[in-house]
Amino acid sequence: MRYLFALMLLLVPILGVWTFVEADRWQLWFPQNVSSFGGEIDGLFNLIMYMVAFTFIVTEVALAWFVFKYSANRPGKGVFTHGSHKLEMIWTAIPAVALLFIAFAQMETWAKVKFESNFPKDGKYTKEKPIAELWASQFDWRVRYPGDDGTLGTVDDLERSYEFVVPVNTDVVFHLRSRDVIHSFFVPEFRLKQDALPGHTIPVWFRAEKEGIYDLVCAELCGWGHYKMSGRMTVLSQADYDKRMADIKAEWFSNGKEQGQ
Amino acid sequence: MSLRLPLVAVSGLALWVSACQLDKDQKPARPVVHYSLSSATTALGDDGEPLIPESAQAGIAGSLEMLFGTPQAPIYQLLPEWKDEDFDPNWPQYPKGEDGSGEVDPAELVANNQMYWRRQLTAIDAGLWDRVFVQDFTPDLLADWKALCAQTPVEARNEEFKKAARELFENYYPKLSASAELYRQHCLHCHGPEGGGDGPTAPFLNPRPRDYRHGTFKFTAVGKAQPRREDLYRILDEGVTGTSMPSFRRFSQAQLHGLVDYVRLLSMRGMVERSLLATYKEEETLTSGDTIDAYAEVWEKWQKADSKVLTFEGEVPAPTAETIAHGRELFMDAKTGNCLSCHGPEGRGNGASAFAVNPESGKVVPTYKDDWGNEIIPRNLRLGIFRGGRRPIDIYRRIKYGIAGGPMPEAASSLTNEDIWHLVHYVGSLSERPQHKAAHVDHAADHGGDHASEKH
C-alpha cells in the first residue's frame, strides 16, 4: 500500500511538470508577444516559474519520500519533538530572500512599463498628447481620437466603438478612462494590463512591433455583461494607419450620401 | 467500513450508465416552440375574461405563424406578386448583388469574413483540420463544414478541398434560422423572444431595451418611418452609447446583417399583430384577406424607408464663433428653436416643461412618456453622450426629424437647414471640456461661474 500512495504522490510533480513541457505543443501556452516590453515580462514570468517549479518538485518528492519512509506499517517507535529552531529559521529566511530577489528583479521592468516618468517623451505621442482616449463602459470599448486639432475634448473628436487602431513600431500613449465601474484593459499579446477607474484618467503606453489583429478584453469582472466586453486591437503600418484614420474621419463628417451612413 | 464498498459500487455503476447515455447522444428532441402573442392581444378585461376571445387569439397566432414561421424556423410567407418580381426576402439579397447592387456589398463581406474567420482559414491553409473550430451559433456553417468534411477523408484533402473550404467560410451569410439562433444567444435576454423588449434582464435596465413590435426605432436617418437596413446595422455595429446596448462588432458583418434580417422579421411580425388586433377590435372578425392586406401593408412601409433618408449636399459646415453664437440664440428663442424648454438653458436636460410636481407625492417627476409607456427625460447635452451618435450628421438628423417614439419634435418649419447646422454647432460646443471652451465661445457668460461643477 505504501508503494501505491508514494507513487501516486510522485505522479503529481511528474504530471505537473509534463503539462508545462507539453503546453506549448498543444498551444496552451502564452500567445505570441508583439510588444517591446513583452519579452522582459515573459522573462520575469519564466524566472518566477522556474523558482516555483524547483520548490514544487523538491517538496513533492520529499512528501512522497516521507509517506514511503514513515508508513504506519513499518515497525519502530515514534519520536516526539518540539521541532527544530534552526530548520525554521532556514525555511523562513530562504523564501524571504527569494521574495526580495523577485521584488528587486522586477523593479526595472515595472518602472519601464508603468512609471509616468519613463513614458515616451520624444515621440509623436506623449502623456500630454495621447493618440486617443479609450473609454471603458458597461459593456463595450469606445475610442475617441483627437481629430485634426490634436486636442481631446473638442468638438472635432472622432469616435469609434470596439476597435482601437494604432500604428506599428511607434511608441503609443493613450488615456484610459471608465464611464461607470472598474474595468481593466488587457491585450494578452502585448502583455499589458491596466485597470480603468471611474473618475481617473490613466495614461498607458506600449510599442507594438508586429502588425496584426489582437484581442482586447476586459480583465476585471465588471457586471453581468463582462463576458461580452471584448474589443479589437488593430496594429497597422503607418501608411495603413493614416488611411484608416482618413476613413474614420470621412465617415465621421459624412453628409449621409454614402451607402450605410 | 462495511457500507463503503456497496456505496462505491453503486455510484460507479451510476456513472457508467450515465456515460453510456451520453455516448448514445440521446438528447431529447427539441420541443417545437411558438412565438407568444403580445400582452395587448391577450389582455384580460375587468371581469377576468379575455378582451379578445380565445378563438380569435388562436386565429391571430395562426396567421402570424403562417406569415413568419416559428422561432426555430422563421420564414417569410411569399406574396404572389413577389414571384413575378423575383423577390424573396428569405434569401439575402447579397448573392444576387454580384454587381454590388444588392443590399450588402459582396466584396466587403468577403473581406470581413476573411478577417473574422482568420484563425479557421489559417488552420485550413496549414491543413490542421481539427483546429478548424466553428461556433455553435453558426449552425448552418457548422453543418456545411461537417458535410464538406464527411465527403472527403482526411488523407484525400488536397488543394481543391482547401479551396472549397476557404470559399465556405469566405462567402458565409447566415440563414434566417441561424440568425435566430444568434439572436437567442446574444439578444434575447434583453429584447425577448418576440423582440418585445421583455427579456429576463430587461427589468434591470434603464433605459429599457427597445420593443421592436411597434416598428418604431429611435436612431435612424429616416425620421418616423421604418428604419433602413443600414440604420439597424449601425446600431448593432456602434452600439448605443450611454445605454446597455453594446457594440456587437465582434461578430462578422455577415452575422450582423443576418441579425438585422431577423430583427426586421420580428418587427414586422409585431406590426402585423398590432394591425390585426386593431382590425379585429373594429370589425369583430378577421378574414384571411385582412391578414394578407396587413402583411402587404407592413412590407410596403418597410420598403419605403430608403426614399426618406435625410442627407445634404456638400461638406459638413465647420463651427465658428458666429455659428455657435447664432445656434445659442436659436436654442434659447421660444419661437424658433425653443430647445431650452426641455433641455434647459444650460443644456443639462432639466428644462421646465420636462418635469412636473406630482401633487400626491410632492415629488418632481418627468412629464413625458415615450410610445412604449416609459418615463423619459431630456438628454443632458453637456455630457457628450449622444445615444444616436455624436457625429454632426447624427445630431443634425435628430434635430431636423425629431426622435421617433419620443417627445423630441421635428424642427419647426421656420428653421432653415443652415439654422439647424448652427444648432448642431452650439450643441456640440456644450460638451467640449472646459479647458477648450474659450477657443469658441465664452460659456461662462451663460450661467455665471458654475464651471467648478463640470470639471472632468
What secondary structure does DSSP assign to chain A, as a single string? -HHHHHHHHHHHHHHHHHHHHHHTTTT-SPPPP-BTTHHHHHHHHHHHHHHHHHHHHHHHHHHHHHHHHT-TTS-S--------HHHHHHHHHHHHHHHHHHHHHTHHHHHHHH-GGGS--SSS--SSS-SEEEEEETTEEEEEE-TTTT-TTSTT-EEEESEEEEETTSEEEEEEEESSS-EEEEEGGGTEEEEE-BT--EEEEEEB-S-EEEEEEE-S--STTGGG-EEEEEEE-HHHHHHHHHHHHHHHT--S-STT-
Question: Does the complex come out with an ipTM higher than 0.85?
Answer: no
Classify residue A137: in a domain, yes or no. Answer: yes
Chain centroid, CA B392 distance in Å? 22
Does the distance separating the beta carbons of B456 and A260 come in below 8 Å? no
Q: Which of B234, B249, B312 sits opposite A162 (nearest CB)?
A: B249
Cα(B332)–Cα(B324) distance, rounded to whole angstroms? 12
A153: left (phi over 0), alpha (psi -120 to 50) or beta: left
Identify the pLDDT of residue B44.
87
Q: Do A107 and A148 reside in the same domain of the chain? A: no
Q: Give the contacts of A79 (CB within 8 A, at least 6 positions apart).
A: none
Q: Do A36 and A157 reside in the same domain of the chain? A: no
How far lies A9's CA from each of A64, A67, B340, B440, in Å?
A: 5, 9, 76, 74
Q: Do A240 and A165 reside in the same domain of the chain? A: yes
Identify the pLDDT of residue B101.
45
Cα(B424)–Cα(B319) distance, rounded to whole angstroms? 9
Q: Hey, of A155, A181, A200, A240, which one would you mutate to test binding to chain B, going by the most B CBs within 10 A of its CB?
A: A155
Shortest CA gap B232–chain A (Å): 10
Cα(B95)–Cα(B106) distance, rounded to whole angstroms? 8
Share of chain B above pLDDT 90, in %: 34
Contacts of A229 in chain B (CB under 8 A): 246
Contacts of B312 in chain A (CB under 8 A): 255-256
Q: What is the residue type of B253?
A: Q
A-chain residue closest to B456, CA distance: A199
Q: A253 CB near a chain B CB, below 8 Å? A: yes
Q: Do A61 and A94 reside in the same domain of the chain? A: yes
Q: Is pLDDT of B23 > 60? A: no
Does the distance separating the beta carbons of A213 and B391 come in below 8 Å? no
Q: Do A97 and A153 reside in the same domain of the chain? A: no
Identify the pLDDT of residue B48.
83
Q: Cα dihedral angle (A70, A71, A73, A77), rounded to 10 degrees?
A: 30
Cα(B35)–Cα(B193) distance, rounded to whole angstroms? 7
Classify residue A75: in a domain, yes or no. Answer: no
Identify the pLDDT of residue B105.
75
Does the distance separating the beta carbons of B186 and A159 come in below 8 Å? no
Q: Do A45 and A159 reside in the same domain of the chain? A: no
Which structural domain range is residue A102 located in? 2-69+87-114
Cα(B175)–Cα(B167) distance, rounded to whole angstroms? 17
Q: Do A143 and A188 reside in the same domain of the chain? A: yes
pLDDT tens-digit readout, B332-353: 988 888 899 999 998 999 888 8
Q: Is pLDDT of A113 > 60? A: yes
Does the distance separating the beta carbons of A230 and B433 come in below 8 Å? no
Nearest by Cα to B206 from B363, B431, B377, B347: B377
Classify residue A82: in a domain, yes or no. Answer: no
Q: Which of A151, A153, A255 sits opposite B314 (nearest CB)?
A: A255
Size of interface A-B (CB pairs under 8 A): 91
Cα(B240)–Cα(B385) distance, rounded to whole angstroms? 9
Number of domains composing chain A = 2
Does the distance separating the beta carbons of A155 and B316 come in below 8 Å? no
Q: Do A151 and A199 reside in the same domain of the chain? A: yes
Cα(B165)–Cα(B168) distance, rounded to whole angstroms? 5
pLDDT tens-digit readout, B407-434: 998 888 888 889 999 999 999 999 887 7
Q: Do A64 and A133 reside in the same domain of the chain? A: no
Classify residue A57: in a domain, yes or no. Answer: yes
Band (pLDDT 50/70/90 cuts) for residue B450 is: very low
Q: Give the contacts of B260 (CB within 8 A, at least 6 positions apart).
A: B229, B232, B233, B236
B-chain residue closest to A261, CA distance: B230
Shortest CA gap A207–chain B (Å): 23
Backbone dihedral angles phi then psi of residue B327, each to the nearest 5 degrees: -60, -40
Q: Do A35 and A150 reside in the same domain of the chain? A: no
How far lies B192's CA from each of A46, A151, B40, B198, B259, in Å?
A: 48, 42, 16, 5, 14
Classify residue A78: in a domain, yes or no. Answer: no
Tell me the pLDDT of chain B averaged across its residues: 84
CATH number for position A195? 2.60.40.420
List the grid coordinates of A99.
521574495
Strands (E), B163-202: none
Q: A163 CB near a chain B CB, below 8 Å? A: yes
Identify the pLDDT of residue B27.
63
Nearest by Cα to A4 from A64, A84, A74: A64
Does the distance separating the beta carbons of A160 and B233 come in below 8 Å? no
Does the distance separating the beta carbons of B233 and A254 come in below 8 Å? no
Nearest by Cα to A213 from B115, B412, B245: B115
Q: Is pLDDT of A47 > 50? A: yes
Q: A227 CB near a chain B CB, below 8 Å? A: no
Lowest mean pLDDT among A156-165, A233-242, B13-22, B312-321: B13-22
List the grid coordinates of A123.
515621440
| Grid cell 386565429 in the structure block, residue | B59
Identify the pLDDT of residue B277.
92
Q: A195 CB near a chain B CB, below 8 Å? A: no
CB atoms closer than 10 angstroms to residue B81: 9
Shortest CA gap A261–chain B (Å): 7
CB atoms closer than 10 angstroms to residue B311: 14
Interface of A with B in 93-152 (CB under 8 A): 137-142, 151-152
* Mean pLDDT confidence for A152-160: 87
Backbone dihedral angles phi then psi of residue A115, each to the nearest 5 degrees: -75, 130
Q: Do A56 and A127 reside in the same domain of the chain? A: no
* Beta-carbon-side half-sphere exposure of residue B175 (alpha carbons within 13 Å): 14
Q: A25 CB near a chain B CB, below 8 Å? A: no
Identify the pLDDT of residue B100.
41
Q: Do A132 and A246 reside in the same domain of the chain? A: yes
Classify residue A258: in a domain, yes or no. Answer: no
Does the distance separating the beta carbons of A159 and B310 come in below 8 Å? no
Helix or strand holding residue B356 (H, E): strand B355-357
Angle, helices B253-283 vs B106-116, to 10°: value is 120
Chain centroid, CA A188 distance in Å? 6
Shortest CA gap B370–chain A (Å): 24
Using the 8-state DSSP alphabet, how is residue B74 labeled?
B
Paired with A186 in beta bridges are A193, A217
Nearest by Cα to B219 from B203, B243, B254, B202: B243
Q: Which of B115, B310, B431 sits opposite A256 (nearest CB)?
A: B310
Enumerate domains of chain B plus CATH numbers.
34-39+51-117+172-307 (no CATH), 321-454 (1.10.760.10)
Model-level pTM? Answer: 0.85
* Mean pLDDT confidence for B312-321: 85
List the grid coordinates of A104.
528587486
Classify residue A260: in a domain, yes or no. Answer: no
Q: Give the contacts of B283 (CB within 8 A, at least 6 positions apart).
A: none
Identify the pLDDT of residue B454.
41
Nearest by Cα to A189 from A160, A168, A161, A220: A168
Classify residue A144: in a domain, yes or no. Answer: yes
A-chain residue closest to B313, CA distance: A255
